Amino acid sequence: MMDYRNTGDPALFGLAAESVTSDGPVSQPFSEGRPDRRASGRRARRDRRLTGMSRPTQGSDTPEGAPAPIAERGSESEDCCGGGFLAGYSLAMAYFPDQSWDGIYEDEEAALKQGTLFAALDFPFCPGCRR
């Protein structure tokens, strides 16, 4: 039985603290008694629907319908071209803004010293510092 209280994830904690009825979600305190496998399965399916992704879980007794541990899901895709360590997670979309010709260091000596002609790309390496 997976206990969402042990995941350390506040979002899952909040979701796990609810159950769904025909009237909608109703907040309930955690039961300290025998766990309801059907309820935990419903919670897991709803978690995936709400978050759009599967979350890795701790422990070996994964409830019915809950996401499988990462190691198991990764091994399923070892002999194909996708997945790997993060198999099962939603894909992300990467983007970067188009660079514009402004903020140019007019002093070429300064540009050489800074290692870039563009002020927008000037991020001096400074371990332990915050800009």
Partner 1 sequence: MNEREKLMRRIQACCFVLTETGLYLDAHPSCRKALRYFEKYSRMRDEALRQYEAKYGALTYNGIHAENGWNWVTEPFPWEA
Give me the residues that bind partner 1 (CB under 8 A), please.
Answer: 99, 101, 104, 108-109, 111-112, 116-118
> Which C-beta is closer to partner 1: that of 15 or that of 117?
117
Report the nearest approach of partner 1 to the CB of residue 131 (Å): 21
- Which CB atom, from 86 or from 104, has the smaller least distance to partner 1? 104
Distances (CA, A) of 107 to 22, 32, 83, 116: 69, 70, 48, 11
Nearest 5 degrees, angle CA 113-CA 118-CA 123?
70
**Is the Cβ of residue 79 or residue 108 nearer to partner 1 in the bound state?**
108
- Tell me how far, at minimum, the Cβ of 116 lies from partner 1, in Å: 7
Rounded to 5 degrees, what are φ and ψ at 24? Answer: 110, 180
Nearest distance in Å: CB 95, partner 1: 15
What's the rounded Cα separation, in Å, for the pair 96 and 121?
13
Q: How far is the CB of 126 from partner 1 (least distance, A)?
A: 22
Can you tell me whether residue 39 is helix, strand or coil? Answer: helix
φ and ψ of 124, to 5 deg = -60, 140
Nearer to partner 1, 70 or 111 (CB): 111
